[in-house]
């Protein structure tokens, strides 16, 4: 009888220890995934901003798209809150030679997407590749530093030169779990 009681006690303690270890592993795994996704997002955005160039593009109607195009609201199916012209690679050992391209960051239905256009200038049949960067997003805002040192939520200035880049850019991002990140870049 004593052996059965000892065995039962050891079983209960072992069960609680194993349950605690499994729970700890799940919590640590979820945290690692969340912070890894945030790190990847910030690296992607920072890399894009470091490659931005003052080169305009054309949309499918022949209208000029500024080198940096920022808008707080989405207007169309492939629009982004932020769209940039990125430099290409010339003679890179890994990538070879590639032309400049357009990328955008689109916040839609609680997720942030990377929109990559296959060509700098678009035709009617041009469609971008849209990749999920991170889900569970509550807030995504981009503001631009104007020459008068004021932050505004759209770029370029009305009637401004479409090749001019903002003096600075501020990126605010918040997950639904409450974590908030704010980063600024200057040219």
Instruction: Enter the tokens of residue 161.
Output: 């030169």
User: Residue 162's domain is classified under what CATH number?
Assistant: 3.10.610.10
Q: Which residue from 125, 113, 119 is spatially nearest to 41, judged by alpha carbons?
A: 113
According to the model, what pLDDT value does residue 116 have? 93
On whether residue 7 sits in a domain, the answer given is no
Give, in order, the Cα–Cα distances in Å from 107 to each of 54, 77, 158. 24, 12, 23
On whether residue 77 sits in a domain, the answer given is yes
Region 157-186: mean pLDDT is 91
On whether residue 2 sits in a domain, the answer given is no
Number of domains in the chain: 1
On whether residue 135 sits in a domain, the answer given is yes
- pLDDT tens digits, residue range 20-77? 888 888 878 777 887 888 888 888 888 888 899 999 999 888 899 999 999 999 888 8
Least confident of 2-6, 94-98, 180-184: 94-98
On whether residue 82 sits in a domain, the answer given is yes
- List, in sequence order, every beta strand (DSSP E) within the chain: 57-58, 64-65, 68-70, 82-86, 89-92, 96-98, 101-108, 111-116, 129-134, 137-145, 151-152, 168-175, 180-186
Cα–Cα distance, 87 to 163 (Å, whole number): 14
Q: Residue 72: count other Cβ atoms within 10 Å of its Cβ.
A: 13
């Amino acid at each position: 009888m004593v052996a059965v009681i000892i065995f039962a006690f050891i079983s209960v303690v072992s069960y609680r220890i194993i349950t605690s270890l499994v729970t700890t592993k799940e919590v640590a795994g979820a945290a690692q995934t969340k912070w890894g996704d945030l790190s990847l997002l910030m690296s992607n955005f920072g890399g894009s901003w470091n490659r931005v160039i003052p080169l305009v593009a054309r949309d499918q109607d022949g209208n000029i798209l500024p080198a940096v195009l920022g808008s707080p609201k989405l207007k169309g199916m492939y629009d982004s809150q932020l769209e940039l012209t990125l430099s290409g690679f010339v003679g890179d050992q890994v990538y070879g030679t590639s032309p400049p391209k357009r990328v955008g960051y689109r916040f839609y239905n609680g997720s942030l997407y990377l929109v990559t256009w296959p060509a700098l200038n678009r035709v009617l049949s041009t469609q971008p590749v849209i990749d999920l960067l991170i889900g569970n997003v509550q807030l995504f805002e981009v503001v631009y530093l104007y020459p008068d040192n004021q932050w505004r939520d759209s770029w370029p200035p009305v009637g401004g030169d479409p090749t001019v880049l903002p003096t600075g850019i501020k990126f605010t991002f918040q997950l639904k779990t409450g974590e908030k990140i704010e980063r600024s870049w200057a040219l």
